[in-house]
Amino acid sequence: MTRMLFVNLPVSDLTRAKAFYTALGFVNEPRFSDDTAACMVWSEAIFVMVLTHDKWKTFTTRPIPDAGSSEVMLCLSCDDRGAVDTLNTAAGANGGTPDINPAQDHGFMTSRAFADPDGHVWEVMWMDPAAMAGDTASGA
């Protein structure tokens, strides 16, 4: 069985959220989308459900955090260093906030963080495949 990750995020404007995630390269899955929620697909195993506040409240009675708080930082891996920069730039150009944390470059790994229009924190990172495989010669 393939394991998948479904991230659920409350959003104040569903249309804006769909446009933002589409601009970053996510694809809307209309079979699991309606006027209260949208399934945005990053890969065959990673899905982001953006939910209106009313829809969100059907799942939990816990309060929706203020946009300035950090309840979690979600991290997506990229194919190369350039993709990290591209996603951070695209976030800023499409209603998000780029570079909400200092960029990090450790040689074998680089990352940048942005917030979506609702303040959800995303980190995008690239790690040298040799470092991921445990190759100590890579500098990891």
50, 18 contact by CB (below 8 A): yes
pLDDT at 138: 47
As a whole number of angstroms, the distance between CA 39 and CA 90 comes to: 20
pLDDT digits (tens, 9 = 90+) for 110-139: 999 999 999 999 999 999 888 777 765 545
| Structural domains for the chain | 1-57 (3.10.180.10), 71-140 (3.10.180.10)
- Written as six digits, the tokens of 16 are 């804006």
Residue 124, beta-bridge partner list: 76, 112
Low-confidence ranges of the chain (pLDDT < 70): 135-140
As a whole number of angstroms, the distance between CA 130 and CA 5 comes to: 25
pLDDT at 140: 46
pLDDT at 1: 83
Largest CA distance in the chain: 52
Q: How far is CA 60 from CA 53, 54, 55, 65, 116, in A?
A: 11, 10, 10, 13, 22
